[in-house]
Structure 1
């Protein structure tokens, strides 16, 4: 009896709270439904029928939730609100850019499928969602072209002028650079269609793994190490002893004999100390007496040149991935493309010096990728964006033409001429010459270039990102009337296609709904609500990524302690 009384004191089973008022219950259901929809497929409708969840609702004084209501009228209402808001924003914008992300299938998704999200970027820096479709990575270019152009037409229908496709400044997509995007750009002179900058840098990693002998050598040697320690039970037992000692866990090392060897290299580096202890272990030395491969790998694992090469390969990949991560957070505009590539080239130069690698071979791969992804709009936006004006000896702030190659200099004239109407071509070239020679008033230029510390990242960032465009619309509008119209559209363009980032659970869930038209319609509505809500709060991450970060940092130790205490 005493024991039961103590348990009740620790966990009092109080009677359920009195029911909330109708207003309170409605507000609670509204918050719950928003959260449920924004989870977008991670939580199933049937989950709310779980008895423990129903017990929770009862404990807090709420009645049970109806699945039918959640998937029916409440979803319809929430979708109509989100759709109306999205269309109103596009309708109020002077122009916009269509972004398509997901054409390139994800390797970690079912059967190589991915969710293609079509979004619309607006001049005020916001992004609104339009639609989603499933892609298996084998989409014909003509189909992609039709989808993209339909998206332009549909979004233009929400804009001023009721269907004026000239409101669309262009498209940024993570694929189809030389086909669908170029075809649409050729057909519509006012459009600038870009391949996603993120995809270009990701492709650069693949280029290096394919084109540099360093990666071939490191991959080959790491494959031998991983294969031996995974398959030889005696060696594996010894290795796992030291793996537990150094890493607090045992696991097989990830193996790769193909291009994507970076995860294997990461595993080998993480186990560096465990490998050294293993090959010095007396049991492993005995194994070497009867196994020549064990002896060969022991020599390799004690070779400092091998570890230097492994570290060099991993360092180069990390260098590019860090830049990719920054771009995912900052979402650079087209004017930043040239500076970003130039900055990466400088980092690679320092990497070559640090690890004594031949610059010629590295730059050959780098320059080839740059040329494949380069678009003349990079140079034009770089020249027109007041953010990059340079103060000369006379005190003027002039566009940075000296930073361009002769070919890029010509690209500026060609692109700006194409974006202008035939009647205004000569006017815009005259204004461009004036811009080149006179630039901008120092007061305005300095105001545009003001930077401040970003407390979230600890880096200096432009205080007002919209000022580059606004200065063309105001103080430069009279002097550069025709060029200004082109400049505000051009320098606004986003260089990356990332918008709503779906998780694998959502993709699997959406595929399951494809068997029913009604179910697919509900799925599309949920995706629209979820995507629009995330874009409103500028959340471009994925729940899976955040979960990975949580369990990869120190918080995991706190979680383990919590689990241990609970058990």
Structure 2
């Protein structure tokens, strides 16, 4: 962060110089755009709109840019040329504009679609697709483009200035007026003649044959899959949108879809997905239940009035997950109620053999419910979500580290002052547009939100101020602001903070720590680690936070205390046991053996391993398990098999090195370590457990619809089925994001429009497959 105390050898430009430079830049840009348009590489209306510089009468310096209509000499603002063209030219405000006028027209006749026909009962209004956009019909009639000089020479008279039809010269810029021999009525004959010419040039293509019944059924299947898997992004009412129904008719599909998609077809899709999921669960010897949604999130409160959607998925030993059900809860739920729902889910999946469920992972709602079920069923391992632990760590730092409170209060003071003082706000917007090409205000939390308790609400403010550091310094150097400082003590205080290097250092420290933790959260969301990975991830967090303390000269005593306190709240003995038993973490010693990393555990964690394994084993096998654990500790695994388990390869998507075969850790215990039979039965159940509970993310729009119809049994049942179908499909694709996030990412992408379109179709395989099935190619649709 550059210090504000540093001096520059170059004088800062005056506000007048900056304004003149901006006006000239705007003018040159518009001239460039118009030049390209006249050559046929831009919008049609630039042939009639000409950028002009308006100069100050006193100084002679340019003060603004205007658009002048070359047809009627009217002058308009240059802020939005497209809107000016629509309001002045298309809507008929310009008295001399004719819909047939186009820049750079050749001497050949215009297509018939550009010739406006008189409005009558026997003729439909014609549109103008050749204009670059659909144009409304006009009352004044258009004529084919004719070179006026040649026309006049051949007919032997000069154009007269009356209400006849306008034409342009071959330059496409100067307008003349001429009279047809038969008057305006000749336009109808000319239109019919030109239509005949067009038909001769482009013979009408014979329509494609209608779709067969099999093609229609196949297309409807794909369309239904896309509709259900969108999980609320597309509503039932959208199926009846006139434009969508016109599209269906165009490609030869039936248009009555709402009843079919909400009736028998929905039931069939639901039964198909449910049968497939239940078959996968039956084939597995054991499983883990994951429940996500107990924790009341802010967007649930905003969109659904406190309504939570708790999603249950089943994690299987082969690495797959299947959707099980979704439960709607109203607001805050007691631990006892949560415990009952969790147990009902376990018995509903496992039936009478509840021992098949070896554990539960849930976002940290009520640890008491998980602990009670674990105590009542000794074979279960119930853990809190690792992701929630890292998210809570940000809250801990905000609540307990004084640096966060100081930075939050100072940034809110700066942001509110900049946004609320009109003169200062104007200067800020001007410099922000100049430096960052964006003139928005600084984001501040909602008045209903307490930023000192909810750090997520104030983080955008910190982000904005950090990105506008240079802009804020430029505002402080203005003479007008210096005058304000002499009169306003708050202005002096804000100026002192902005010009103080310590303010920026503290802000950057808090921002970088939050970004560090958020980066770890994103990695966990992407990798979805097993519980054996929990201890290494927390150790990685400790290392990064320690480096942060050294970089920003923050005392690590308080920071380390906060970190260890959060670790203790989320820690489960199963983390240590899975870390020791997973061959993925074996360490090669000096003798060449691959042994479990007991040296990485504390004395208390070693005791946790013994206690946990004793509890998970039956009473008869408890002592045998401990003996086999000692053998595992001293002998480990054959080096060849250990190396095979730990073999890694580069992920083509992320570019990171990942384990080549994640299932090999479990397979080693079931095959190569068969002599450790009792310990092996626990190991294969323990090391496959997931550390996070996050299922796929629901669309907010869908949640709002469900909340609005939750009192209707039929609507709620229909919503449950759609959630099940969508959840089943998303877990099969391992797609855990929601459409709102994808849309936000898409619109933030840089690049051409074609690249964005390609991204859309690449991310919608069902849509592409549907278009192909009805004979429509995606690039034809986009064009």
Q: How many angstroms apart in 2 are the aligned matches of 1:184 and 1:508?
A: 33
Q: 1:243, CA displacement in angstroms?
A: 2.0
Name 2:212's counterpart in structure 1.
Answer: 21
Q: 1:62, CA displacement in angstroms?
A: 1.6
Alignment of 1:359-378 (within 5 A): 359-378=556-575
In structure 2, the CA distance between the partners of 1:560 and 1:372, relative to structure 1 (3 Å rule), is: closer
Q: Check conservation: 1:103, 1:137, Cα contact below 8 A.
A: no
Q: Check conservation: 2:314, 2:323, Cα contact below 8 A.
A: yes
Name 1:196's counterpart in structure 2.
Answer: 385
Q: 1:101, CA displacement in angstroms?
A: 0.5
Give deviations 1:332-355, integer Å, cap 9, x for gaps.
Answer: 000000000000000001111111
Q: Check conservation: 1:18, 1:61, Cα contact below 8 A.
A: no
Q: How many angstroms apart in 2 are the aligned matches of 1:430 and 1:46?
A: 65
Q: 1:181, CA displacement in angstroms?
A: 0.3
Name 2:399's counterpart in structure 1.
Answer: 210
Q: Check conservation: 1:16, 1:61, Cα contact below 8 A.
A: no
Give deviations 1:275-295, integer Å, cap 9, x for gaps.
Answer: 122112233223222222112
Q: How many angstroms apart in 2 are the aligned matches of 1:394 and 1:127?
A: 40
Alignment of 1:415-494 (within 5 A): 415-477=612-674, 479-494=675-690
Q: 1:19, CA displacement in angstroms?
A: 2.7
Q: How many angstroms apart in 2 are the aligned matches of 1:142 and 1:62?
A: 52
* Residue 83 of structure 1, aligned match among 270, 274, 281: 274
Q: Alignment partner of 2:649: what SS?
A: strand
Q: How many angstroms apart in 1 are the aligned matches of 2:712 and 2:307?
A: 19
Q: Alignment partner of 1:108: what SS?
A: helix
In structure 2, the CA distance between the partners of 1:184 and 1:237, relative to structure 1 (3 Å rule), is: same
Alignment of 1:542-553 (within 5 A): 542-553=738-749
Give deviations 1:201-225, integer Å, cap 9, x for gaps.
Answer: 0000100111111101101101111
Q: Alignment partner of 2:621: what SS?
A: helix
Q: Alignment partner of 2:298: what SS?
A: coil
Q: Check conservation: 1:16, 1:60, Cα contact below 8 A.
A: no
Q: Which has the higher mean CA deviation after the structures are superposed, 170-179 or 244-253?
A: 244-253
Residue 508 (1) aligns with residue 704 (2):
yes
* Residue 520 of structure 2, aligned match among 323, 345, 348: 323
* Residue 492 of structure 2, aligned match among 295, 304, 307: 295
Q: Which has the higher mean CA deviation after the structures are superposed, 140-149 or 9-18?
A: 9-18
Q: Check conservation: 1:113, 1:137, Cα contact below 8 A.
A: yes
Larger Rg: 2
Give deviations 1:174-207, integer Å, cap 9, x for gaps.
Answer: 0235310001001000000010000000000100
Q: 1:255, CA displacement in angstroms?
A: 2.4
Q: How many angstroms apart in 2 are the aligned matches of 1:48 and 1:108?
A: 27
Indicate the RMSD between aligned Cα atoms, in angstroms: 2.1
In structure 2, the CA distance between the partners of 1:301 and 1:444, relative to structure 1 (3 Å rule), is: same
Q: Alignment partner of 1:350: what SS?
A: helix
Q: 1:16, CA displacement in angstroms?
A: 7.0
Alignment of 1:134-533 (within 5 A): 134-157=328-351, 163-256=352-445, 257-259=451-453, 260=455, 261-477=458-674, 479-533=675-729
Q: Which has the higher mean CA deviation after the structures are superposed, 328-337 or 247-256?
A: 247-256
Q: How many angstroms apart in 2 are the aligned matches of 1:396 and 1:142?
A: 48
Q: How many angstroms apart in 2 are the aligned matches of 1:489 and 1:103?
A: 25
Name 1:4's counterpart in structure 2.
Answer: 112
Q: 1:136, CA displacement in angstroms?
A: 4.4
Q: 1:369, CA displacement in angstroms?
A: 0.2
Q: 1:557, CA displacement in angstroms?
A: 8.1
Q: Check conservation: 1:16, 1:58, Cα contact below 8 A.
A: no
Q: Check conservation: 1:398, 1:436, Cα contact below 8 A.
A: yes
Name 2:233's counterpart in structure 1.
Answer: 42
Name 2:159's counterpart in structure 1.
Answer: none
In structure 2, the CA distance between the partners of 1:561 and 1:147, relative to structure 1 (3 Å rule), is: closer
Q: How many angstroms apart in 2 are the aligned matches of 1:166 and 1:200?
A: 28
Q: How many angstroms apart in 2 are the aligned matches of 1:561 and 1:411?
A: 54
Q: How many angstroms apart in 2 are the aligned matches of 1:516 and 1:282?
A: 64
Give deviations 1:272-331, integer Å, cap 9, x for gaps.
Answer: 222122112233223222222112111211111111110110100110111111111110
When normalised by structure 2's length, the TM-score is 0.69
Q: How many angstroms apart in 1 are the aligned matches of 2:654 and 2:426?
A: 43
Q: How many angstroms apart in 2 are the aligned matches of 1:233 and 1:415?
A: 65
Q: Check conservation: 1:226, 1:253, Cα contact below 8 A.
A: yes
In structure 2, the CA distance between the partners of 1:269 and 1:300, relative to structure 1 (3 Å rule), is: same
Q: How many angstroms apart in 1 are the aligned matches of 2:701 and 2:207?
A: 34
Q: Check conservation: 2:746, 2:756, Cα contact below 8 A.
A: no
- What residue ranges of structure 2 are gaps of 5+ in the alignment? 1-108, 115-127, 135-201, 446-450, 759-781
When normalised by structure 1's length, the TM-score is 0.94
Q: How many angstroms apart in 2 are the aligned matches of 1:193 and 1:219?
A: 37
Q: 1:458, CA displacement in angstroms?
A: 1.2
